[in-house]
Amino acid sequence: MRRFYSESVTEINGLVTLTGDEARHISTVLRMRPGDDVLLIDGKGAEYISEIVSSSDGEAVLKIKESRISAAEPEVKVTLFQCLPKQGKMELIVQKCVELGVYAIVPVVSKRCVVKIDGKENKLVRWNKVAQEASKQCGRAFVPSVLPPVKLREIDLTPFDAALLAYENEDMRTLKEELRRLGSVSSTALIIGPEGGFESEEAEELINKGAASVSLGKRILRTETAGMSALAQIMYEFDQ
Ligand code: SAM
């Protein structure tokens, strides 16, 4: 069943009106007809089995037949603190980490970040659009947010049950060992450095805030690989 996203699913007498790109997609691109079934997702975790009642170029009216909580959401909420990578990589990181079940993404400005993000609000809009498209494509009903960037020293780890610092100079403890030690967590921060890695005092600062420094293995991964790799390992470990 084709999936359509609506930021706010406002039901009036069991009917929901879709407008904008999604409505145009239904009527003009896919030429769907009244009576066809679609899956409406609200981006917050709920999905609605609906039937098209009417559709024109700018509007589609749907009748909700059944609503449910999506089964595609992982129980562990992983917030990825991604130090800003060079041009163009962030879209790949957002897309792949949404597919892998990330809960939220926070771009981070650290000492060795080459890219500066000041005044580039349109980047954030673009990254959130990528998250929405990736979420729809992979069957999630929840759209992870890409939040406004923070400086590394502003990272607040207190809201999390656990915090994992993927540190390239860590050679004592692996991610696997730390996940086994944690057992099960409901929310964790995952911190990934930029291409140039972390300054030692940055790593120290995060460890002093409670992050566990972990190795992702014997090879140095690119920044765009590291988050995906760690996320996949976390989801594997917690059967998500
Ligand atoms: N410039 C660093 C160096 O040569 O050691 C490499 C940085 S790596 C390209 C980018 C980020 O990916 C790192 O800061 C870290 O967060 C993560 N990363 C990559 N490989 C890792 C590994 N084997 N263990 C832990 N973290 C790793």
Over residues 15-49, the pLDDT tens digits come to 999 998 889 999 888 999 999 999 999 888 889 99
Q: In a 10 Å sphere around its CB, with 0-12 CB exposed, 13-18 middle and 19+ buried, how is residue 205 labelled?
A: middle
Among the listed residues 93, 100, 95, 94, the one whose alpha carbon sits nearest the alpha carbon of residue 76: 100
3-state helix, strand, coil in the chain (%, to 5): 30, 30, 40
Q: What phi, psi does 107 have (nearest 5°)?
A: -70, 140
The amino acid at 64: I
Give me the chain's average pLDDT, please: 94
Does the C-beta of 142 come closer than 6 Å to ligand 1? Answer: no
Q: Is the CB of 223 under 6 A from ligand 1?
A: yes
Residue 68 forms beta bridges with which residues?
A: 47
Task: Specify the pLDDT at position 171.
Answer: 94
Q: What is the pLDDT at residue 85?
A: 96
> Distance, CA 117 to ligand 1 centroid (Å)?
21
81: Cβ below 6 Å to ligand 1? no
Residues above pLDDT 70, as percent of the chain: 99
Does the CB atom of residue 174 touch ligand 1 within 6 A?
Answer: no
Q: CA 236 to CA 35: how far, in whole Å?
A: 40
Residue 198 near ligand 1, beta carbon < 6 Å = yes
The per-residue pLDDT for 157 is: 98
pLDDT of the residue at 12: 83
Tokens 């000492």 belong to which residue?
Answer: 111
- For residue range 47-102, what is the model confidence (pLDDT) as tens digits? 999 999 999 888 999 999 999 888 889 999 999 999 999 988 999 999 999 999 99
> Binning pLDDT at 50, 70 and 90, where does residue 239 land?
confident
Work out the angle between the directed axes of helices 223-237 and 175-182 (0-180°, nearest 10): 30
User: For residue 189, what are the contacts with CB-CB under 8 A and spacing of at least 6?
Assistant: 78, 79, 81, 155, 157, 160, 162, 163, 164, 211
213 lines ligand 1 (CB under 6 A): no
Residue type, 172: M
Residues 150, 189: Cα–Cα separation, whole Å: 14
pLDDT of residue 37: 96
Q: Does ligand 1 lie within 6 Å of residue 221's CB atom?
A: yes
User: In degrees rounded to 5, what are phi and psi of residue 207?
Assistant: -65, -40
Mean pLDDT of 100-123: 90
Looking from the CA of residue 214, the nearest atom of ligand 1 is: 25
Domains annotated on the chain, with CATH: 3-69 (2.40.240.20), 77-237 (3.40.1280.10)
Quick one: pLDDT at residue 217?
96
Tokens representing residue 42 in the block: 């609200």
**Residue 220: exposed, middle, or buried by beta-carbon count in 10 A (0-12, 13-18, 19+)?**
exposed
Distance 166 CA to ligand 1 centre (A): 7
Amino acid at 239: D
Task: Say how many Å lie between the CA of residue 123 and the centre of ligand 1.
Answer: 24
Q: Edge-to-edge, what's the strand order for the sheet holding 46-55? A: 3-5, 37-41, 46-55, 59-69, 15-19
